[in-house]
Amino acid sequence: MTTERIAAVVRPAHEQWQRWRSTAACLGVCLLSWVAVVWLGDRSQQTRLGQALDQVGMDAVVGDRAATRQLVAVLGNVSLGSVALAVVLLIATAVLRRRYAAAAAAAILVVGANLTTQALKAWSERPDFGNLTVASYPSGHATVVVSLVLAALLVVPGQARTTVSLVGSAAITVTATAMLVASWHRPADIVGAVLVCLAWGTAVLVVWSVLRGGMSGVDPGRPHRIFATTGVVLAAAGLLAVGVRPGGGWSGFLDAGVVLAGIALVTALAVTTYAQLSAPMGVGEDAPPLRSWRAPRPGPP
């Protein structure tokens, strides 16, 4: 086989791999997220040690009376009406940009993630190990906020995606802290909600890619990492300013800091990962032309 014939076979295969590499990454993240949802739910809800650690994590994050009232008021704004309005605005943004697939994907992501969270809570049972038996995994409030942030990454113009990473990460951090301070949810409930949303978000990307014949490479992650990290840091500083600070001295700060740092890390990683993977849909990529898998025949000598 001549060099030209080898190149004619290898080049199309390489191009196809470049178009399907991002799809494979989305599928991998999707499967890992579902596995993590099941594993975390089993460990944190069905075992005595898991329940105890989860309870300690929630109890470590406290605030004064004024801060608690403010944060509970924030949670009160996450209602069915506000969610519906947010979804309509996201879909309208995508339609105005003529990104109809992104509009459908955003709606499916939000609806699918929230229905899944409610189904998991309805079907799960929490054994009585002394930490209440009310099923709370995953968190419904966290699912709402995270799913809306990921959906926004699908529909906003490319120049605004880093802003979504910043504002979205801050919003998730504030919501998570509010639920811990109000004792509405434990850390595992919040992390489980993030995983459910990430699983649905990557699932819609896989379907979109398969239907259109692959997609281009992901965005460079550095800008989103910087903006997402900045968002959680600013949120943490704001929470500290309004009174989310333990009364147990530096030991209390350390315990609360470990819990919040873990949630902040999960938040930043999820937002950054999805911002990278969803770039072809969010920025707007035209459908690739259909290519033949057959190598071109060599011309006459």
- 292 is a domain residue: no
Q: Provide the pLDDT for residue 67.
A: 81
Q: What is the pTM of this model?
A: 0.86
- 293 is a domain residue: no
239 exposure class (CB count in 10 Å sphere: 0-12, 13-18, 19+): buried
Share above pLDDT 70 across residues of the chain, in percent, rounded to a whole number: 83
Q: Provide the pLDDT for residue 2.
A: 63
- 230 is a domain residue: yes
The CA dihedral of 266, 268, 273, 279, to the nearest 10 degrees, is 150
Backbone angles phi, psi at 215, to 5 degrees: -150, 165
Q: Are 105 and 152 in contact (CB under 8 A)?
A: no
- 294 is a domain residue: no
- 296 is a domain residue: no
Range of the domain at 30: 3-284
- 301 is a domain residue: no
d(CA 191, CA 282): 25
d(CA 58, CA 78): 20
Number of domains in the chain: 1
- 148 is a domain residue: yes
- 216 is a domain residue: yes
d(CA 153, CA 293): 33
pLDDT for 165-195, tens place per residue?
Answer: 999 999 999 999 999 998 899 999 999 999 9
Q: Which residue has the higher pLDDT, 158 or 268?
A: 268
Q: Which residue has the higher pLDDT, 49 or 130?
A: 49
Q: Are 130 and 124 in contact (CB under 8 A)?
A: no
d(CA 88, CA 75): 20
